[in-house]
Chain A
């Protein structure tokens, strides 16, 4: 089971109401390489992965939910005071028509989250390479959003998340090496 903790993993501050930035950030909320996809991908793969890496998938999957909460906090803070006119001007008119200022799991272009964003092949190497690729794609997405953002407070939190993607990718690479080593040791051919 899981325990909720009433704290963000890393502080999230925003300088001002900015629904346009929120629109971009939704990509990391309900997009293909976003935090929801990441959490669900790892926590689903862990049931059939070799024991040696179950701990890692569990822990990274859990951290992804903490990142999802950080992204939600960013979007919430950037839009909570936005008027319908501001939402419309930021390209969030269609979002507002359906959801008011509520958050929803879709990507920056408005496509709803789908399970087809995540894979579970059952082959541990295939699954871990998918995870490495997902982390690298998420890292790139954070970079593109940072490039477009002029909010220094928000960028501080986004840089934290970008660095986490790097660490996760490295850990998954180590997991691949652990499994290769085990395979050679047990001589499963």
Chain B
């Protein structure tokens, strides 16, 4: 971690990485829905799923949970409701 880093900037940068990887996953999901036999695409999907999981766990350690109902861990106190929400970022 660089010193004097701006946490808002870091949040944006990490979020953007997640958005990129997750976008590829959405796109691959829809593609595989109509091309279920494409081995290469499935391989890419599974690789990106790991990458997405790792990025989210790094994000959540710094900025709080992304997902609810147990898909993310909570900090103490319960920090799901903390701002900013996506439309406030």
Please report A residues at the B interface, Cβ cutoff 8 Å: 3-12, 53, 55-56, 59-60, 63, 69, 72-73, 76-77, 167-168, 171, 174-175, 178
CB within 8 Å of A: which B1-24 residues: 15-16, 18-19, 22-23
Q: Are A7 and B18 in contact (CB under 8 A)?
A: yes
Closest 10 CB pairs of A and B: A73-B87, A174-B34, A56-B33, A8-B86, A55-B33, A6-B66, A171-B30, A76-B87, A5-B67, A59-B29
Q: Are B19 and A59 in contact (CB under 8 A)?
A: no
Task: Tell me how far the C-beta of A29 lies from the nearest C-beta in chain B, rounded to whole angstroms.
Answer: 13
Q: Are B68 and A4 in contact (CB under 8 A)?
A: yes
Residue in B16, B18, B34, B66 whose beta carbon sits within 8 Å of that of A56 in the complex = B34
Tell me the dominant secondary structure on chain A's binding face: helix
Q: Are B27 and A7 in contact (CB under 8 A)?
A: no
Q: How many A-B residue pairs have CB under 8 A?
A: 63
Task: Tell me how far the C-beta of A69 lies from the nearest C-beta in chain B, rounded to whole angstroms.
Answer: 7
Task: Tell me how far the C-beta of B50 lies from the nearest C-beta in chain A, rounded to whole angstroms.
Answer: 17
B84, closest chain A residue (CB): A6
Decide yes or no: A7 and B19 within 8 Å by CB, A69-B87, A73-B87 being known contacts. Answer: yes
Q: Are A73 and B86 in contact (CB under 8 A)?
A: yes
Task: Tell me how far the C-beta of B45 lies from the nearest C-beta in chain A, rounded to whole angstroms.
Answer: 13
Task: Tell me how far the C-beta of A92 lies from the nearest C-beta in chain B, rounded to whole angstroms.
Answer: 18
Task: Tell me how far the C-beta of A34 lies from the nearest C-beta in chain B, rounded to whole angstroms.
Answer: 17
